[in-house]
Structure formats: C-alpha cells, structure tokens
Amino acid sequence: MNKKEKWLTDVENSLNGIESAEVSPYLYHKIITRINGNAKEYVSNRFVFASLVSFFLLLSFNLFIFKSLDKGNSTSKNDLIKVSKAFQLVNENEINYN
C-alpha cells in the first residue's frame, strides 16, 4: 500500500465512530413558529428616534448647503483651475468633453 492509498484509507476510517447530533425536541416547533410569523419582532423606540433625528439633521444640512450656494458663494473659474492643477485633475488627452 503506497502513501496515497494509506492516506485515503485513513480519511475514510476517520468517520468511523461518529454519532449523529442530538436535536432539541422543541426545535421543530420553533422553526414552524418563525415560518408562520407568530414571533413578532419590534424595533425599539430609541432606534426609531435616532433614525428620525439623523434623517432630519442630514436634510437640514443639505438644505443649508444648497441655500449657501445660491447666495453667490460660487467659486470662480480661476479657482477651479487652481484646484484642478493642485490635484492634477487636468485633462491631458486633448478631448473636449463639454
């Protein structure tokens, strides 16, 4: 018997003596109850409140930003060119995408 055959035999014999797992007698009932939807899950009031607060903070922040942009705080074309050169965002391939 060569090494490969011995290894295969050892692997096959390693499963000898293994017993099946014991299942709780109430497991089937728990599964059926969850499938039928009898076990209701609720979201806590704290989570709902935190979600609402974060949503309104985000909404108010966005409205504040949009209003500040409408007041004439827009950047000039020269400022945008300076930033694009600083971050090397210059179009090098001579194609005009505008």
pLDDT digits over 5-44, tens only? Answer: 889 888 888 888 788 888 888 998 888 888 887 656 788 9
pLDDT digits over 80-93, tens only? Answer: 778 778 887 766 66
pLDDT digits over 63-72, tens only? Answer: 988 887 766 6
Instruction: Write the DSSP assignment of 28-97 as a string of letters.
Output: HHHHHHHHHT-S-----HHHHHHHHHHHHHHHHHHHHHHHHHHTT-PPPHHHHHHHHHHTT----S----
pLDDT digits over 28-39, tens only? Answer: 888 888 888 765
Amino acid at 29: H
Q: For the chain, how far is it from start to end, CA to CA, in angstroms?
A: 76
Q: Half-sphere exposure (CA, 13 Å, Cβ side) for 90?
A: 7
Question: In this model, does residue 46 exceed pLDDT 80?
Answer: yes
